[in-house]
Amino acid sequence: MPRPLPLFATLLLLALSLAAPAHAEGFITRLLNKPVPGGVAVLDLGGQAQAPKVRYQGKPVLTIREDGQRWIAIVGIPLGVKPGTQQVQIEGGQSLAFEVGAKHYTEQRITLKNQQQVNPNAKNLARIERELAEQTRAYRQFSARQPSNLLFDKPVDGPLSSPFGLRRFFNGEERNPHSGLDFAASRGTSIKAPAAGKVILIGDYFFNGRTVFLDHGQGLISMFCHLSAIDVKLGDEIPRGGHLGKVGATGRATGPHLHWNVSLNDARVDPAIFIGAFKP
């Protein structure tokens, strides 16, 4: 008769079997799966040969093979999505449900001397609308390339300052929540590509100032704002770690810093997730 396992070993085995998912979760799933508004859901699509085509809210979704085995979908969840059940559509008619949890985002109050940056006049509003349309088109691009890396490098050396998702009040008036992550860095600091990418848009915008968009592949797109100098051209292929430009304070900025957006399937998500700095 086999000796009974000591109690602690029994408890350990029980804990392991309760914690073990239907299949082993890979590194990318553990790192990126933060299913909250403004977060990312990583969904298991199975082990078939062909890449499944997945859509969320009508938009194509990034899919990769994790650890060379199962396909996973990496879904960006817009900040405006309410906690509860969401679905993606898989080509062929199937759908796959996932749960979005709650996340509390705090408030930030900012004082601006330039009242035009709080309540722009008609001419500036027309400009803002034009620029928004241009940037939205960039975010909706979906190239076939695979991202070089999903665990991103920090784009600048410097501490994180304003987090993603802050509810922002400019001179006491509520405006759009903070769509990216800010880094404190002095003017002229080099900004580097967090992953390889193609330059798909360059602009000098009313709110974002001098701006570069990088397409990392399959709808994973970065935006870098308020630059003092842009050192790349439209269409350039930038390697991981390649220099893009320099930190500045152009556009609506109270001082030099880098504002970095990360977008998946046209949803702006918390960049901190991709650098292992997400706070629940």
Q: SS3 sequence, 7-57?
A: HHHHHHHHHHHHHCCCCCCCHHHHHHCECCCCCEEEEEEECCCCCCCEEEC
Q: Which two tokens stand for residue 10?
A: 């029994």
* Count of residues interacting with Zn ion (CB under 5 A): 2
Question: Which is nearest to 87 in space by CA: 101, 75, 102?
Answer: 75
CB of 230 to Zn ion, least distance (A): 18
Measured torsion, CA atoms of residues 72, 144, 225, 268, in degrees rounded to the nearest 10: -40
Indicate the residue among 198 and 210 with the shorter CB distance to Zn ion. 210
d(CA 55, CA 64): 14
Indicate the residue among 182 and 215 with the shorter CB distance to Zn ion. 182
Indicate the residue among 108 and 124 with the shorter CB distance to Zn ion. 108
Backbone angles phi, psi at 271, to 5 degrees: -60, -25
Indicate the residue among 87 and 176 with the shorter CB distance to Zn ion. 176
Question: Which residues, 221 to 260, sit near Zn ion by CB under 5 A?
Answer: 259
CB of 226 to Zn ion, least distance (A): 8
Q: Which two tokens stand for residue 14?
A: 């029980």
Binding of Zn ion by 216 (CB under 5 A):
no
CB of 205 to Zn ion, least distance (A): 13
d(CA 182, CA 160): 6
Question: Which residues, 256 to 275, sit near Zn ion by CB under 5 A?
Answer: 259
Site string for Zn ion, 150-189 (x = CB under 5 A): --------------------------------x-------
Q: Which helix (H) or strand (E) holds 166?
A: none
Indicate the residue among 182 and 270 with the shorter CB distance to Zn ion. 182
By residue count, the chain amounts to 280
CB of 42 to Zn ion, least distance (A): 26
CB of 178 to Zn ion, least distance (A): 6
Residues that bind Zn ion (CB under 5 A): 182, 259
